[in-house]
Amino acid sequence: MIVFVKQFSLFSLVGAVGTIAHYALLFFLVSQLTVHPVAASVAGALLGALINYILNYRFTFRSARRHREALPRFLAIAAVGLALNTALMWLLVEPLRLHYLISQLIATACVLLWNYLGNRHWTFEKGISCKPRT
């Protein structure tokens, strides 16, 4: 259980870095370029996913799995997460008329658990450790 808590905490910290990039791009695209919030959220999610892959592979899961194995798996998990994020953003922004940043906070919270479990148990499972690399 301690390993899970440590790993989930690190996953969340790494995710915060990707989420900051996601939200920064979302905000910029909507406020400065008047891109629709759902499209801007997709662009931000893609940027966040790239950052999250690199940091999670190296630090969170310390995966021994080769990139040619881990990356396609990560992309599959990220694609489902992106679909969930996009569907939630559309639902919250369009029919429910919530502000796009509030909508994105809700969508992010919903996708977080999916991404962690999918990546922990499928993408990076080979060689998962919370011990520092030597």
pLDDT in tens, 82-118: 999 999 999 999 999 999 999 999 999 999 889 989 9
Task: With respect to residue 130, please indicate whether it lies within any of the assigned structural domains.
Answer: no
In which domain, by residue range, is 23 found? 2-123
Model confidence, pTM: 0.83
Task: With respect to residue 109, please indicate whether it lies within any of the assigned structural domains.
Answer: yes
Q: Residue 64: its pLDDT value, please? A: 85
User: Could you tell me the maximum CA-CA distance found in the chain, to the nearest angstrom?
Assistant: 52
Mean pLDDT in each 10-residue stretch from start to end of the chain (134 residues)?
85 94 98 98 97 92 89 96 97 98 96 90 71 48
Task: With respect to residue 129, please indicate whether it lies within any of the assigned structural domains.
Answer: no
**Residues 104/41, Cβ–Cβ less than 8 Å:** yes
Task: With respect to residue 43, please indicate whether it lies within any of the assigned structural domains.
Answer: yes
CA end-to-end span of the chain: 24
Nearest to 52 by CA among 64, 61, 40: 61
The 3-state DSSP class for residue 80 equals helix
Q: How many domains does the chain have?
A: 1
